[in-house]
């Protein structure tokens, strides 16, 4: 566990979370959510929880991003009502 690395990853994590919330485009929001998942994975790996980091890398950063994009692809830009 390296304290400086912890701080750097956490700062990027907060930045990624804020951007994912504030960005208007759903596709970019889901991509940034994938980056957020990968940063959490890095944080866990750096803390020594390698099994959890592995799960987060495959589920959070990998498949769930694909599922979100698959859902975004099926939406329209403007709501019909």
Partner 1 sequence: MLSKIFASIAVAITGSILLYGVSDFPAFGDPNSPASAGVPGSESVSLYFIEESYKDTKVPNLVTSVLADYRGYDTMFETVVIFAAGMAIFAILRVVGNDGEEKRATSLEDSFTNGDHSRIIVGTTVRIVVPVIQLFALYVIAHGHHSPGGGFQGGVILGASFIIIALSENLNAALRRLSEQNYVRLAAIGILIYAAFGVMAQILGKNFLDYGVLEPLLFTDGPEMARSHSMLGVEVGVAFTVTAIMFAIYANLSSRGQLEKGL
Binding site for partner 1 (CB under 8 A): 50-51, 53-55, 58-59, 62-63, 66-67, 70-71, 73-74
Q: How far is the CB of 50 from partner 1 (least distance, A)?
A: 4
Q: Which is nearer to partner 1, 10 or 70 (CB)?
A: 70
Please give the Cα distance from 5 to 8 (Å, whole number).
5
Q: How far is the CB of 53 from partner 1 (least distance, A)?
A: 8
């Amino acid at each position: 566990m390296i304290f400086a690395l912890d701080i750097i990853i956490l700062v990027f994590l907060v930045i990624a979370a804020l951007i994912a919330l504030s960005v208007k485009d759903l596709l970019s929001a889901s991509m940034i959510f994938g980056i957020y998942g990968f940063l959490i994975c890095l944080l866990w790996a750096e803390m020594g929880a390698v099994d959890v980091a592995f799960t987060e890398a495959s589920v959070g950063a990998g498949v769930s991003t694909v599922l979100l994009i698959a859902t975004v692809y099926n939406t329209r830009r403007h709501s019909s009502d």
